[in-house]
Amino acid sequence: MALVNQGFQFKNRVGEVTFGFRNLAELMARATPARSGDRLAGVAAANAEERVVAQMTLADVPLSQFLTDLLIPYESDEVTRLIIDEHDTKAFAPISHLTVGGFRDWLLSDLATPQVLREVRTGITPEMAAAVSKIMRNQDLMLVAKKCRVTSAFRNTLGLPGHLSTRLQPNHPTDDITGIAASILDGLLYANGDAVIGINPATDNVSQACRLIHMVGDIIDHYEIPTQSCVLTHVTNTLEAIELGAPVDLVFQSIGGTQATNDSFGVNLAMLSEAQDAALSLNRGTLGNHVMYFETGQGSSLSANAHHHLDQQTCETRAYAVARKFNPLLVNTVVGFIGPEYLYDGKEITRAGLEDHFCGKLLGLPMGCDVCYTNHAEADQNDMDNLLTLLGVAGCNFIMGVPGSDDIMLNYQTTSFHDALYVRRVLGLKAAPEFDAWLRKVGINLDTESFRLNPHVPDVFRPSLQHLLGER
């Protein structure tokens, strides 16, 4: 009983020892599967036993408590205000009686059909999703995520069951147009690029963004490719590009789960709303009006010292509330980019990727994953093969595609064009239907059932290639 007097909101007697947790944020952090970022923040469980006791304690917390016991104060954080103000009480009703542990059982049960999961979506807050994920095994995260179907559309339809799309990422260290075009061609001929053709510019300014937006737009127009373009520059640059008349398909922005994290990115909800309106006004989508592309990643809040002593996975999941507000086409958790101080090795990267995909899908987001690592992390291609396969099983909407896994601008390794074909082959997944039809029409794919590529360069690309490389 002494623990109560020491200010512990939660206590749990296990055998001879009583464990105490001072508040809900601390309980969530202690319950999180081990990772370096939470150790760095000083919020992780002290040992394996405390972690499991925290998970057992968390399992008894009612879901409704997350609506009143706020992890970051309502008054001081616009992400908290967004989560609370937009909570859908009616959608929450069918699960409002559940505890976190009961929620896990319900999600795994046959009661939670894809249709039911779609209906409760807006009743689930990020904190509820994060809490339940902490007591789920990897297979639970995959099983439930696969039941959460989220589609989005702009010039094609992404996220249909049995489909896996790729962002074609043709980055070049000096934004050289010929170099970028060469990587785009390579990607298209390897049947990649249905989620987006998206460039991270090496030089981040408005004129460069305009130049690249025009460049990719020209290719999409000329070859009539059912996909969309994006230059991943700051939202204020994209707004200026729109004002300058650039043909912007998608607005990109990195986002985080606390107001202070977003401050560190130089953005807020009002700016995102303004950019979304500007892109919608261009009316460039043919099948849908999802115009936003967000990137997130565990560790960004701690990195900006903006985590309010929350664990990094809870911060990450709160970023999905920001994303959800703006009906995105793509939400990409860049899981291994941030480095070993946040996710130390292949095991931690794998767990984080599955958590993010699950939480995003549960909240209704079109989740993709940048399955990646840096050269200072304890990870290699085999770890990426494993996570890629698991995400394919879980129904992930999209992954990255870069030539030979080597992003020569951002200096990290992500999935390659070849990797996408591997996972499509081994799991029987297809590209977005409109893009798949285009691959067959122009002769890139000879046979989409067995994923057989044309050994020759298709006719539509031959003149450009011969012009550049010389006639034979």
Partner 1 sequence: MATDMTSDPMHGAVTDNAWQPLRSFTAARIGLGRAGTSLPTQRLQEFQLAHARAQDAVHQPLDVESLTQKLAQLPWPSQPTPLRLHSDAPDRGTYLQRPDLGRRLHTTSQQRLSQYLATGAAPIDLTIVLADGLSALAIEKNALPFLQQLLPALQQSASPWQLAPLCIVEQGRVAIGDHVGESLAAHCVLVLIGERPGLSSPDSMGLYLTWQPQRGLTDATRNCISNIRSAGLTPQEASRKALYLLTEARRRQLSGVQLKERSDQDNLEYASGDNNFLIPSG
Q: Extract the annotated binding site for substrate.
A: 167-169, 200, 295, 370
Instruction: Give the C-alpha separation, 115 to 12, whole Å.
Output: 37
Find the part of the chain contacting partner 1 (CB under 8 A) among 17-25, 99-107, 298-306, 326-334: 298-306
Task: Tell me which of 249, 407, 434, 436 binds partner 1, using CB under 8 A.
Answer: 407
In the numeric block, which tokens belong to residue 235?
């939202």
Task: Tell me which of 339, 346, 360, 364 binds partner 1, using CB under 8 A.
Answer: 339
Q: Residue 403 Cβ, how far from partner 1 at the closest point, in Å?
A: 4
What is the contact mask toward partner 1 in residues 358 to 377, using x (rule: CB under 8 A)? ----------------xxx-
Instruction: Give the C-alpha separation, 5 to 438, whole Å.
Output: 68
Give the footprint of partner 1 on residues 85-114 (CB under 8 A).
none
440 lies in the binding site for partner 1 (CB under 8 A): no
Find the part of the chain contacting partner 1 (CB under 8 A) among 22-30, 86-94, 134-142, 229-237: 229-237
Q: Which amino acid makes up residue 349?
A: I
Please, is 68 exposed, middle or buried when counting C-beta atoms within 10 Å of its C-beta (0-12, 13-18, 19+)?
Answer: exposed
Task: Tell me which of 161, 173, 245, 428 binds partner 1, using CB under 8 A.
Answer: 173
Distance from the Cα of residue 44 to its chain's centroid: 24
Measured CA distances, 163 to 150, 399, 436 (Å): 12, 11, 10
What is the contact mask toward partner 1 in residues 254 to 273, using x (rule: CB under 8 A)? ---------xxxx-------
Instruction: Give the C-alpha separation, 177 to 468, whole Å.
Output: 13
Q: Closest CB to partner 1 among 120 and 423?
A: 423
465 lies in the binding site for partner 1 (CB under 8 A): yes
Instruction: Give the C-alpha separation, 342 to 348, whole Å.
Output: 9
211 lies in the binding site for partner 1 (CB under 8 A): yes
Task: Tell me which of 3, 91, 185, 437 binds partner 1, using CB under 8 A.
Answer: 185
E-state strands within 84-160: 152-153, 157-158
Q: Closest CB to partner 1 among 292 and 402?
A: 402
Strands 157-158 and 330-334: unpaired
207 lies in the binding site for partner 1 (CB under 8 A): yes
Q: Residue 470 Cβ, how far from partner 1 at the closest point, in Å?
A: 4
Find the part of the chain contacting partner 1 (CB under 8 A) among 5-13, 126-134, 353-361, 412-420: 412-420
Q: Residue 344 Cβ, how far from partner 1 at the closest point, in Å?
A: 7
218 lies in the binding site for partner 1 (CB under 8 A): yes
In the numeric block, which tokens belong to residue 109?
């049960």
Instruction: Give the C-alpha separation, 25 to 37, whole Å.
Output: 15
The site for partner 1, by CB under 8 A, has a size of 89
178 lies in the binding site for partner 1 (CB under 8 A): yes
**Backbone dihedral angles phi then psi of residue 417, each to the nearest 5 degrees:** -55, -40
228 in helix, strand or coil? coil
Q: Closest CB to partner 1 among 174 and 281?
A: 174
Measured CA distances, 228 to 109, 193, 405, 411 (Å): 38, 9, 22, 25
